Chain A
Amino acid sequence: MTVERFPIEAGHILLFARAIGDPNPIYADPDTAVAPPTFVQASAQFDPDYSLRPKPGQPWMGSAKEPSQLAGGRDEGGSGGSRSGGTGLHAEQHYEYHRPLRPGDVLSATSRPGETWEREGKRGGKMTFSENIIEYRDQKGELVVTARSVGVRTGQVVA
Chain B
Amino acid sequence: MGLSAAKVKVGDTHEQVLVDDLTRTQLVMYAGASGDYNPLHSDELYAREQAGYPGVFAHGMLTMGMTGRAVTDLVGADRLKKYGGRFRVQVWPGDTLTATVTVDAVRDEGGEHLVDLSVVTVNQKGEQVFTGNATALIDA
Listed in ascending order, the chain A residues whose CB lies under 8 Å from chain B are 12, 15-16, 18-22, 24, 26-27, 34, 36-38, 41-47, 50, 52-54, 60-63, 67-68, 73-76, 81-84, 87, 89-97, 100, 148, 157-159
**Interfacial chain A residues near B37, Cβ < 8 Å:** 52-54
Tell me the complex Cα distance, A18–B60, Å.
17
Partner of B34, one of A19, A26, A82: A19
Chain B CB within 10 Å, residue with most, of A24, A83, A159: A159
Q: Interface size class for chain B?
A: 35 or more
Whether A159 contacts B53 by the Cβ 8 Å rule is yes
Whether A34 contacts B34 by the Cβ 8 Å rule is no
**Interfacial chain B residues near A18, Cβ < 8 Å:** 29, 33
**Interfacial chain A residues near B71, Cβ < 8 Å:** 37
Closest to A16 in B: B33
Q: Beyond A19-B65, A21-B19, A62-B39, is A94–B77 a contact (Cβ under 8 Å)?
A: no
* A123 nearest CB across to chain B (Å): 10
**Interfacial chain B residues near A37, Cβ < 8 Å:** 65, 68, 71-72, 80, 83
Whether B84 contacts A16 by the Cβ 8 Å rule is no
Tell me the complex Cα distance, A42–B19, Å.
21
Whether B35 contacts A67 by the Cβ 8 Å rule is no
From 39 to 94 in chain B, residues with beta carbon under 8 angstroms from any chain A beta carbon are 39-40, 42-43, 45-46, 48-54, 57, 59-62, 64-66, 68-69, 71-73, 77-78, 80-87, 90
**Interfacial chain A residues near B124, Cβ < 8 Å:** none
**Interfacial chain A residues near B35, Cβ < 8 Å:** 42-47, 50, 52-53
Whether A93 contacts B30 by the Cβ 8 Å rule is no
